[in-house]
Amino acid sequence: MNPGETIFDIGKPGRRASAQAPAAGDAPDLPASCLRANAPRLPEVSELQAVRHYTNLSARNFSIDNQFYPLGSCTMKYNPRGAHRAASLPGFLNRHPLAPESASQGFLACLYDLQETLKHVTGMAAVSLTPMAGAQGEFAGVAMIRAWHDARGDDGREEILVPTAAHGTNPATAVMCGYRVREVAVGADGDMDMAALKAALGEKTAGIMLTNPSTCGVFERRIREIADAVHAAGGLLYYDGANLNAILGNVRPGDMGFDVAHLNLHKTFATPHGGGGPGAGPVGVGERLVPHIPTPVVARDGDRYRWVDNDQIPGSIGRLSAFMGNAGILLRALAYARMLGREGMRRVGEYATLNANYLMVRLADAGFELAYPERRASHEFIITFRNEAKTLGVTAMDFAKRLLDYGFHAPTTYFPLLVAECFLIEPTETETKEELDAFVDAMVRIRAEAETDPERVKTAPHTLPVSRLDDVKAARELDLTYSFGEH
Amino acid sequence: MNPGETIFDIGKPGRRASAQAPAAGDAPDLPASCLRANAPRLPEVSELQAVRHYTNLSARNFSIDNQFYPLGSCTMKYNPRGAHRAASLPGFLNRHPLAPESASQGFLACLYDLQETLKHVTGMAAVSLTPMAGAQGEFAGVAMIRAWHDARGDDGREEILVPTAAHGTNPATAVMCGYRVREVAVGADGDMDMAALKAALGEKTAGIMLTNPSTCGVFERRIREIADAVHAAGGLLYYDGANLNAILGNVRPGDMGFDVAHLNLHKTFATPHGGGGPGAGPVGVGERLVPHIPTPVVARDGDRYRWVDNDQIPGSIGRLSAFMGNAGILLRALAYARMLGREGMRRVGEYATLNANYLMVRLADAGFELAYPERRASHEFIITFRNEAKTLGVTAMDFAKRLLDYGFHAPTTYFPLLVAECFLIEPTETETKEELDAFVDAMVRIRAEAETDPERVKTAPHTLPVSRLDDVKAARELDLTYSFGEH
Amino acid sequence: MLTSIGAPSIDALFDEIEPALKTSHFDGIDEGVDEMTMIQEMAERARRDEAGPCFTGAGCYDHHIPAAVWDIAARGEFMTAYTPYQAEASQGTLQLIYEYQTMITGLTAMDVSNASVYDGGSALGEAVLMAVRANRAHPSNKTGGPRRIAVAGACHPHYVDATTNITRNQGIELVPTGTTDGRVDLDALTGMTGDRMPVAVIVQQPNFLGLIEPVDEIADWASANGVLVIAVVNPTSLALLRPPGEWGANGADIACGDGQPLGIPMASGGPSFGFLCTRSSLVRQLPGRLVGRTVDRHDQPGFTLTLQAREQHIRRGKARSNICTNQGLLVTAATIYLAIVGATGLSRVASRCHERTRKLVGTLTGVNGVRSHFAGPYFHEHVIDVGQPADRVADAVAELGIVGGLPLGRYFPDLRNCLLVCATEKRTDADIARFGDALQQVLNG
Amino acid sequence: MLTSIGAPSIDALFDEIEPALKTSHFDGIDEGVDEMTMIQEMAERARRDEAGPCFTGAGCYDHHIPAAVWDIAARGEFMTAYTPYQAEASQGTLQLIYEYQTMITGLTAMDVSNASVYDGGSALGEAVLMAVRANRAHPSNKTGGPRRIAVAGACHPHYVDATTNITRNQGIELVPTGTTDGRVDLDALTGMTGDRMPVAVIVQQPNFLGLIEPVDEIADWASANGVLVIAVVNPTSLALLRPPGEWGANGADIACGDGQPLGIPMASGGPSFGFLCTRSSLVRQLPGRLVGRTVDRHDQPGFTLTLQAREQHIRRGKARSNICTNQGLLVTAATIYLAIVGATGLSRVASRCHERTRKLVGTLTGVNGVRSHFAGPYFHEHVIDVGQPADRVADAVAELGIVGGLPLGRYFPDLRNCLLVCATEKRTDADIARFGDALQQVLNG
Ligand SMILES: Cc1ncc(COP(=O)(O)O)c(C=O)c1O
Ligand SMILES: Cc1ncc(COP(=O)(O)O)c(C=O)c1O
């Protein structure tokens, strides 16, 4: 395919996949005034053209199935095809969301089992599966915190604390829930600055949003002290479960003192990321928040399963989607959890940690600078190119782009914001030592290039379908849809 | 992946996809003497490694889903995914070949319908679906011819006539059936040399194997005259249906005078080629050969379907496979035929012919030499590079390899053998005019390169995962399996 | 590996974690099983939910999905890629989203679209938040009073619930206008003047009850009064019905809905995706990702995420929304679906659904005791009155192997005898006859 | 396009064809339908064949197939490619076949393998033709008499039939030795001396009746007498059983069989693939394609078809076989299967099948009137005697939703009361109990 050639460029008026149109119905029995005057501009291609176009487009992606993809905070691990197969069973795929309970017992049993599994995984009293991604899980969590304060008439609490290292969704969520965000500094060792925390806590504190291990790639060691302090101030603790993979099967947010936790099933429970989604962000809650969990949830009476809705949980923050969230993702997660089992989950946390520590040590030995050299890596860790940027003029972004040429997806760059010129590197447990070693080799080679031929690195990538793209032009001269007739 | 890196290179002792091994059974209840001493050398990789390796390997193929693939005689057209879906329905996929008839009515009904459809398509009296590819269809056809002569006690017929342009499977089949092959020349216009035919015919003649349109890409105009001559000599006519796409829905082998015909369902009926197979080569027979058709076939009594086996067709040449041939391919073909219907089949033949004639004229206009300039193309046609080879030293093979760099699969090269330095080009009906035009452009550009920079063409390809391979070394220093420990 | 690390055991890698936190409370989780056993268990459950023909719609529709759609969408390259942050390594996903943006704006006749939000329900929530941000001129922005959003006519009750729950904490209030004969009570709407003038009005077309709303009147009233119009639409219907961009004189301001009808299996309602489109002038208020076309260093065309400063990973607390992970893979499927069916295919699907539903309504109202509840044109859903509590009728019909429509009593007590039924292009004459017979049997023995 | 061609109509492009040949006899073929309708029709038929647990083997086995196998094998790049004649554009397929050749020779302990033939039955046919070519020293090559091939013991009757039909016209004759207690009659075999000395001997292990043949004795006798050994083997069993390359002192000369157990659905028995392996010294007698490793112009490793001079497209009438299209896609699946399960997984599958079958036999022989027909060890198939005509019993069991083994009377009249049963790793305790109950019900009311 030619560069930038879209499906519209290869279309031709009147062409279509003839096997894909049912026989036309009669003239519609609708008033002419409500009918569309001109057919929408959609592609006009044969089925072969569509298949070929999108098959070839797909080849322009990096993906786990093709490459090592050590994207920190994203847990890009292998997504077992068996889980996809299980969720694609006809009985699941063809189930209408509003089918009667009597015809939904298989699906409901799956949701119930997943609720139970995630209760154990998080150490929480109840789980609601409906949030459709991490950010919606966060929303549900903070909305429940708010509902709890409101229910107690404690309505002067206007602030949510968030560490400076937090993921952007955390502050954005707090604002969506009507809170002000107050940032709390992170110390030089990657742990929270306790003095800053204590200074921030007070009667305005509704709660705090934390992830542990944190996005600094280290385990927050004083977590129980933090929990006590927040609780003492009258606030609740929200756990951002995006990093749960590091401690899966080993440590539980509930035991750390959190009141509510979401999980990113698309990270820890291996549902594929789909080029941006879908995910699922179930929330687990401690006893205090049980009355507020989002609906619907599933209950079991003997061997019958049934929906539980707002009428039975009057304090619920209610439904957050039209139906049952990303139901199919929940099935995938259950299938994955079932294959792992207790021991498998423990191994996930252990090997994720092992791989990260190994890679960290190897990169440090190779001369890359660690952000937190005194610390163990969790399932991820940070290196910084501030020296390379200063002395060679080669930035983290340049390293990232050049890695693509070596066949590796780049780690997360420039996040968390508090470490300059950083990579957040998360190898995950499903990669082999050989793959990690090859990554180190590539990093070493790129640094050598940065020393001898920095232009090569600064103008990377050189071997991909496009070279480095002009972001500024993209934003200045917005071109968001194909202009028919102009190309 | 590194060049030539095999699945064995990335394995490591003891590594495995843990979710893919059931719990071990007890110690086997088998005498030690019959047990294997050492485990077989198989890959030792994780599931991710296997998925990634084969996903990346797949990207090293050209295929219809990715490229225009105008391989003459091979009918590389679009294989509708719907047919694949239909054949993959659980009821079909999980059916045991020896399941009782009572539990096989759906499958049997499909086979029956396909038999009936192919009877109409070929103009024959009966169809047997069992042959597993074209070559086995040929075998069945010639074996039936032999059975017919034998049944009549006419056992002095030792020769099968085959035109010089024939596909290699034709003479090979005749030999497998215990016949001698006698070649018949093709005239300068691509039609059979009638004098040569008549000279070859005689009492030794068991039959003739023909394809029409022939592999010269033209329709054998005197086919009825040929049929009469062969019949008059006491021989029968076998139709090689590999080229049926050209005339599908328009002309039928039975009407041309053939006694038996095979069809390549993987060509005309759009089942994918799978990197070499599978296919299916059903045979249709005229009245004379009905008593000899290979088993099993399917009969219908009212609304019940049943197998018909040798006990009911005592003259049958018998079964040619363990079960029912390539059953799944038969289902795909039925699905495809059902979507096409009568009119769709006619359009297949028409558009295949239109595309071939268009491409032929465009290439001729661009200065390429046609093998049969006076003739219409059938669904395919031949051009020859004998001039380019002589004047520029650039051969058909060089053009073929260079086309790969332009993103087109090469046409069939050096076949049929009787035209020097040739391409046999078959665009098929599922390609668009734009694709054909782009192919012409590439051909023109390559010829310009051949004139200005012949080395570039002679050393092509330059942009594929490997450059031109050393076939001679491959045959001299046979390396047919991975040598553990040596790499 | 432990040797390289210099750690004696994997356990040692957890040595920064307080030992008391290391739990052994995982006993509630069973031991793992192999893939074969897992599939067998799941298949046994899936089998229990296999049902006969589906006549329920209400936001989720049983359309035919061309086999090629998921064969391509499920390719590892699409399915196992992350969000396309590294543009050069994600041209496949990025170009596809650009094509999607073109198709969905083509369908809705809007200017711009994002790369998806979660589903139709949350899309409406985001649309409301967006309208509040966009309508800066509205008096409520000065008074600090509650920002009112009018819900004109019968909007999907689950959408209204989700939207209420998503927007509640930002002082936003949804105000239903009520209905007459199943459609908007226009007088009630246009009576919202002065203090009660809403920031925006939500209109679903066809509405939840399957009926056609007077969208031109609503849109023209709104634009005359500084009220933004939020359209909730079914994408299949847009092959037939006038698109939101052409409602009234000026078109809707925001169009949203659920992409499920475009090649996505019902799958219990998710994952599908929410689409969200708007006018060019409001593009900076759009939440979620946007893909733009640009050029690379060699001036070749390419695609990249753009206007990221609207998003949480850059703007954090000031972002347009907290959305991060969206529904990319479903957008991939919908894009391939639209490419394969094209405008002709989609309009055939739409007209076929319309025709099938008319046939269905004819068959069902032929059953003694059954009648159409609302008069007037409908697209592919309709309310029928079965003369007795519809939830029990639906259960009884389900026993006969038919998913027979949604009982409406739960949402509208006065419609307790009503079912909302739907027939897509997949419903054959035999299916419809079977439903008719089942209903006959349930109602008349 | 017609203008460029200079033709007035498409019809004109057919003007070299005698008008009388242009037929309108296609009325028997219905009009086409859209994909949706086609799938509905096919699904309706497929549904009729859905059956309960399968206990029939006899050459086709219901194994678990890891989901990844066909997700990858069905990728367009594998599925819609042609035979890898253009090596540079087919490295994917070529390297995969090279890996397959390595795996299958590893399993069989043979030196070389081709890239597949059609199925197990035709593989045996090709093996026989190959043996006849290879055994040039055999007296029958001089006398011109029929070339005899001994069939030692119980070989799959369909394989024997197919082989007979494929080889008959080349003066080849298959001679069964007969069996004692379900295994080879060794005296009959070793009594084939002088004129009756066969060119080759076929041995199936485990044999058609599920029993273990004395392969060492057979192989040693054969090699002492200038008779080639053709092994017919089940690839799953090779994870447990001694492979043909290690039979007797010198191993078998040719090993063949059906690859279906390696990740290929039963699908009515096809498509699967036949594998065919031999000694290095006989490589030039192998029919079908072979892939070799070589280097390119830059000395990088690569793969290509090799020794093509054995094949029909080069050698025509003198080719080793007429085979052209083979079963490539199934080899692709099998290769991925073997890579995913590995040696450990395959041996677990094998030992689990063995264990399940013992359990099955225990359960069935616990039913009144049922007993094991043959004593002695078996792998995953066994003959049980049900005390009455087994075909009727099988039909009755099928009515109860169980595919309950193959009635043997059709092949061996004296086994008319016998069923050949099999349990793979997929058969649960519940499945086995259900079969036991069904048999109980059928036999004892
Ligand atoms: C630490 C952290 N928190 C929250 C999120 C948000 O999750 P989602 O993208 O599923 O909305 C992410 C996702 O990248 C994350 O890494
Ligand atoms: C003209 C012709 N005849 C026969 C055949 C053999 O068919 P198959 O490859 O299916 O055995 C072919 C295949 O390429 C062919 O092109």
What would the pLDDT profile of A350-396 be if each residue is shown by its tens digit?
999 999 999 999 999 999 999 999 999 999 999 999 999 999 999 99
The answer to whether the bond into D206 is cis (omega within 30° of 0) is yes
How high is the pLDDT of residue A280? 98
Q: How confident is the model at residue C23 (pLDDT cuts 50, 70, 90)?
A: confident
For ligand 1, atom 7, the nearest C-alpha belongs to A134
- Among chain C residues, CA nearest to A5: C301
Residue B303 backbone phi and psi in degrees, to 5: -105, 15
Could you tell me which chains touch chain B, where touching means 3 or more CB pairs under 8 A?
Answer: A, C, D
Spell out the residues 6+ positions from residue B288 whose beta carbon is closer than 8 angstroms to its own.
B148, B236, B259
Between CA D51 and CA D268 the distance in angstroms is 13
Q: Which residues line ligand 1 (CB under 6 A)?
A: A 73-74, 133-135, 167, 169, 211, 215, 240, 242, 264, 279, 281; C 324-325
- Give SS3 for C384: strand
Residues of chain A with CATH 3.40.640.10: 82-340
* Alpha carbons A18 and C340: distance in angstroms, whole number: 9
- Mind giving me the DSSP string for C293-336? EEEBTTS-EEEEE--GGGSHHHHGGGSS----S--HHHHHHHHH
- Dihedrals phi, psi of B390, to nearest 5 degrees: -70, -50
Instruction: Report the gap between the CA of D64 and the closest CA in chain C (Å).
Output: 6
User: A289: Cβ–Cβ under 8 A, 6 or more apart, which residues?
Assistant: A144, A145, A148, A236, A259, A260
Which residues of chain D lie closer than 8 angstroms to A18, CB-CB?
A: 34
For range A275-290, the mean pLDDT: 98
Helix spans in A177-326 (H): 194-200, 223-232, 253-256, 265-268
Report the distance separating Cα B109 and Cα B105, nearest Å: 6
Q: Are A466 and C91 a contacting pair, CB within 8 Å? A: yes
Q: What is the pLDDT of residue B486?
A: 53
Please tell me the distance from the alpha carbon of residue B386 to that of residue A478, in angstroms, as a whole number. Answer: 54
Interchain CB distance below 8 Å, B81 and C36: no
Of the partner residues C36, C71, C77, the one whose CB lies closest to the CB of residue B81? C71
Residue span(s) of chain D under CATH 3.90.1150.10 come to 342-444
CATH of domain A82-340: 3.40.640.10
**Looking at residue B22, what is its pLDDT?**
85
Chain D nearest CA to C109, separation (Å): 29
Tokens encoding A173: 């969520």
Q: Over the stretch C248-295, which tens digit does the pLDDT of each residue have? A: 999 999 999 999 999 999 999 999 999 999 999 999 999 999 999 999
Confidence (pLDDT) at C191: 95
Query: Per residue in D156-191, pLDDT tens?
Result: 999 999 999 999 999 999 999 999 999 999 999 999
Output the pLDDT for position C144.
Answer: 76
Contact list, C292 vs chain A (CB under 8 Å): 474-475, 478-480
Mean pLDDT of chain A: 96
**Euclidean distance between CA atoms D321 and B134, whole angstroms:** 13
8-state DSSP, B22: P
Residue D121: what pLDDT?
Answer: 98
Structure confidence by residue, pLDDT tens digits, A38-91: 999 999 999 999 999 999 999 999 999 999 999 999 999 999 999 999 999 999
Cα nearest neighbour of A78 on chain D? D68
Q: How far is the CA of C261 from the centre of ligand 1 (A)?
A: 28
Q: What is the pLDDT of residue A487?
A: 46
pLDDT score of D25? 74
Q: Which residues of B touch A432 (CB under 8 A)?
A: 10, 12, 15, 46, 49
- Ordered per-residue pLDDT tens for chain B, 487 residues: 788 899 999 999 989 898 998 887 778 889 999 999 999 999 999 999 999 999 999 999 999 999 999 999 999 999 999 999 999 999 999 999 999 999 999 999 999 999 999 999 999 999 999 999 999 999 999 999 999 999 999 989 999 999 999 999 999 999 999 999 999 999 999 999 999 999 999 999 999 999 999 999 999 999 999 999 999 999 999 999 999 999 999 999 999 999 999 999 999 998 899 999 999 999 999 999 999 999 999 999 999 999 999 999 999 999 999 999 999 999 999 999 999 999 999 999 999 999 999 999 999 999 999 999 999 999 999 999 999 999 999 999 999 999 999 999 999 999 999 999 999 999 999 999 999 999 999 999 999 999 999 999 999 999 999 999 999 999 999 999 999 975 4
How many pairs of residues across C and D have Cβ atoms under 8 Å apart?
25
* pLDDT per position as a tens digit, A436-487: 999 999 999 999 999 999 999 999 999 999 999 999 999 999 999 999 975 4
Fold adopted by C67-335 = Aspartate Aminotransferase; domain 2 (3.40.640)
> In the predicted model, is pLDDT for residue D374 greater than 60?
yes
Residue B384 vs residues B18, B416, B422: alpha-carbon distances, Å: 56, 11, 4
In which region does residue A137 sit, left (phi positive, over 0), alpha (psi from -120 to 50) or beta (all else)? Answer: alpha
Mean pLDDT for D115-133 is 97
Q: Averaged over C84-102, what is the pLDDT?
A: 98
Q: Which residues contact D246 (CB under 8 A, 6 or more apart)?
A: B36, B37, D109
pLDDT at C356 over 60: yes
CATH of domain C342-444: 3.90.1150.10
Q: Is the pLDDT of residue A107 over 80?
A: yes
Mutate to test the interface with C, among A63, A401, A471 (most CBs of C within 10 A): A63
Residue A54: closest C-alpha in chain D: D76
Give the per-residue pLDDT at A486. 54
Cα dist from B297 to A224, B312, C360, D30, whole Å: 75, 10, 42, 22
pLDDT tier, A325 (very low <50, low <70, confident <90, very high otherwise)? very high
Residue closest to D9 by CA, chosen among B376, A188, B478, C339: B376
CB interface of C with A, residues 154-213, below 8 Å:
156, 158-159, 161-162, 164-166, 169-171, 212
- The answer to ipTM > 0.85 is yes
Q: Above 80 in pLDDT, residue C141?
A: no
Quick one: tokens of B458?
């002679």
Compute how many other C-beta atoms are within 10 angstroms of the C-beta atom of residue A134.
28
CB distance D34–B30 less than 8 Å?
A: no
Q: Does C96 score more than 70 pLDDT?
A: yes
For residue B416, whether the previous peptide bond is cis, meaning omega lies within 30 degrees of 0, is yes
Q: How far is the CA of A132 from the centre of ligand 1 (A)?
A: 12
Index of the ligand 1 atom closest to the CA of residue A137 = 11
Taking CB atoms and an 8 Å cutoff, what residues of chain D touch C46? none
Asked if the model's pLDDT at residue D142 lies above 90, the reply is no
> Is pLDDT above 50 for D386?
yes
- Restricting to B residues 383-402, those with a Cβ less than 8 Å away from any Cβ of D are 400-401
Q: Which two tokens stand for residue C97?
A: 């989203």
Parts of chain B belonging to CATH 3.90.1150.10: 347-472
CA distance C77 to chain B (A): 9
C68 neighbourhood in chain B, CB within 8 Å: 80-82
Q: Answer whether B57's CB lies under 8 Å from B10's CB.
A: no
In chain C, ranges of CATH 3.40.640.10 domains: 67-335
User: Rounded to 5, what percent of chain A is helix, strand, coil?
Assistant: 40, 15, 45
Between chains, do C66 and B82 touch, taking CB under 8 Å as contact?
A: yes
Index of the ligand 2 atom closest to the CA of residue B240? 3
> Are the C-beta atoms of A344 and A335 separated by less than 8 Å?
no
Residues of chain A found within 8 Å of residue D68, distances taken between Cβ atoms: 80-82
How far off is chain C from B114, nearest CA to CA, in Å?
Answer: 22
The pair of three-digit structure tokens given for residue A350, joined into one six-digit string: 């252990």
Extract the tokens encoding A1.
């395919």
| Percent of chain D's residues with pLDDT above 70 | 100
Residues 366-425 of C with CB under 8 A from A: 377, 379, 394-395, 398-399, 403, 406, 425
Q: Which subunits sit against D, judged by 3+ Cβ pairs under 8 A?
A: A, B, C
Average pLDDT over residues C7-13: 95
pTM: 0.98
pLDDT at D140 over 90: no
Closest atom of ligand 1 to CA, residue A138: 4
> B433 CB near a chain C CB, below 8 Å?
no
**Phi, psi (5° rounding) for residue C41?**
-65, -45
**Topology adopted by domain A347-472:** Aspartate Aminotransferase, domain 1 (3.90.1150)
- How confident is the model over A334-362, as a mean pLDDT? 97
N-to-C CA span, chain C: 73
Residue D247 backbone phi and psi in degrees, to 5: -75, 130
Q: Tell me which of A167, A211, A214, A417 to substitute to probe ligand 1's pocket, judged by most ligand atoms within 8 Å of the beta carbon.
A: A167
Q: What's the pLDDT score for residue A198?
A: 97
Q: Could you read off the pLDDT of D81-107 as tens digits, one per residue?
A: 999 999 999 999 999 999 999 999 999
CA distance D50 to chain A (A): 14
Task: Assess whether the C-beta atom of B147 lies below 6 angstroms from ligand 2.
Answer: no
Minimal CA–CA distance to C397: which of C57, C52, C59?
A: C52
Query: Has residue C306 got a pLDDT over 70?
Result: yes
Rounded mean pLDDT of A266-278?
Answer: 95
